[in-house]
Structure 1
Amino acid sequence: MKRWVIGIVAAGVLGVGWWLVSPLFFDKVVNESPVATNMKENEDGMMKETDSSSPDAMTNDTMKVNELMGTFKGADSDHVAKGSVMVSEQHVRLENFEVTNGPDLYVYLVGADQETAEGISLGKLKGNIGNQNYEIPNNKATAGMKIVIWCKQFNVDFGIAELRTGM
């Protein structure tokens, strides 16, 4: 009876250990195409973002409004991050992105005076390497904010990109 209990506990410990450590040995590569958006004036004279695949999309007069950019850096010596981030009104794009893999990574939009957990979750990180897109739900990013790759399970930042106005 004791051997069965010890065997079940050992199997559980090994399973949890593998789940926590295995992301360090395996990379997930993502290569999404950029999200193409255009600006179009509506009936009220206001500019609105439209999907480039819609029939109303402008072709020659494309405008980029409030585009922000940043470069990733690791949060500390154990977590390496590199690549660039571009933020439009409603989308975040990670390009040539690479971060140390972890068990429970998310992409967050975080204000200057906020803890990462208080920021806006853009979703689970799709892959620790490559080009990827995320939608900003009903919010607009501003200069001074940052994009953070965050391990939710252990409350640890893996990578940070400060946002600034694009040129």
Structure 2
Amino acid sequence: MGRVRKSWIVGVLVVALAGVGFGLYWFQPWKLWQDETVDEALPVAVGSAAPPTGTSETGTSETGTSETGTSETGAPATGTPDAGPLTLAQGDLISHEHDTSGSVKLVRLADGSHVVRLEDLDTSNGPDLRVLLTDAPVKEGTAGWRVFDDGRHISLGKLKGNKGSQNYTVPADLDLTRYSSVSIWCDRFDVSFGAAELARA
């Protein structure tokens, strides 16, 4: 009986330790106390933008259509350089699951390429945070936490830092008239840390 009981206790401990290890890996709670500040200047130009590796525009797969290479006005993109960076839309971040502040700008650069720029971002760190460009409305409270992957959305890449000002390249063939918000999105738990509605400038 003693050996059986000892084996049972060892088995329980192994399972418990494995569970704790998996929980630490999955939730990464230490990140809530680790800040990463990234400050970038607004780029002069980013050249031809392409979708980040491993991302896709899920809204198109749902409708069976593809992006047409139009500009933010819906007209064909010409690639004609402008005088300099131009803010096309902007908005302030509101808090969702975590306290979040700062502003978001959609900027057209001199060569016709686009970036989403986060300015004075201040949010919590967390596992697998990404910057999503979406067509979802921005709602306050828990009703707005999980809506950003429901419709048309595209990941612009992993969040570079939970504090600071950063630029995220927008794919060149995206019809920007179909997108109206940006979310700091935790892809692991499908929840928004914070989001901003983009109002046309």
Structure 1 residues 116 and 23: CA distance shift in structure 2, 3 A: same
The structure with more helix, counted as a fraction of residues: 2
Shift of the alpha carbon at 1:47?
5.1
- CA–CA distance in structure 1, aligned partners of residues 45 and 116 of structure 2: 12
- CA–CA distance in structure 2, aligned partners of residues 133 and 66 of structure 1: 13
1:5 matched residue in structure 2: 11
2:90 is the alignment partner of 1:69? yes
State the identity as a percent.
35
> Residues 91 and 104 of structure 2 are in contact (CA less than 8 Å); yes or no, is this contact kept in structure 1?
yes
1:162 matched residue in structure 2: 197
Letter in 1 for 2:20: L
Structure 2 unaligned segments of length 5 or more: list them.
1-6, 47-77, 109-113, 139-146
Aligned pair partner of 1:145 in 174, 180, 193: 180
> Residues 87 and 105 of structure 2 are in contact (CA less than 8 Å); yes or no, is this contact kept in structure 1?
no
Q: How does 1:40-55 map to 2 (within 5 A)?
A: 46=78, 48-49=80-81
Structure 1 residues 113 and 30: CA distance shift in structure 2, 3 A: closer
1:105 matched residue in structure 2: 129
> Residues 144 and 162 of structure 1 are in contact (CA less than 8 Å); yes or no, is this contact kept in structure 2?
no
- CA–CA distance in structure 1, aligned partners of residues 42 and 85 of structure 2: 14
Tell me which of the two structures has the higher relative contact order, counting C-alpha pairs closer than 8 angstroms and 6 or more residues apart: 2
Q: Secondary structure at the match of 2:176?
A: coil
Aligned pair partner of 2:100 in 66, 73, 81: 81
Deviation digits for residues 97-130 of structure 1 (CA, Å, limit 9, x no counterpart): 0112222211100114694224111111111111
> Residues 87 and 93 of structure 1 are in contact (CA less than 8 Å); yes or no, is this contact kept in structure 2?
yes
2:45 is the alignment partner of 1:37? yes
1:135 matched residue in structure 2: 169
> Residues 109 and 141 of structure 1 are in contact (CA less than 8 Å); yes or no, is this contact kept in structure 2?
no
TM-score (norm 1): 0.74
TM-score (norm 2): 0.62
Structure 1 residues 33 and 64: CA distance shift in structure 2, 3 A: closer
The structure with more strand, counted as a fraction of residues: 1
Aligned pair partner of 1:18 in 24, 28, 53: 24
Structure 1 residues 98 and 143: CA distance shift in structure 2, 3 A: farther
- CA–CA distance in structure 2, aligned partners of residues 121 and 144 of structure 1: 12
The RMSD of aligned alpha carbons is 2.6
Letter in 1 for 2:30: S
Aligned pair partner of 1:120 in 134, 154, 166: 154
- CA–CA distance in structure 2, aligned partners of residues 83 and 157 of structure 1: 15
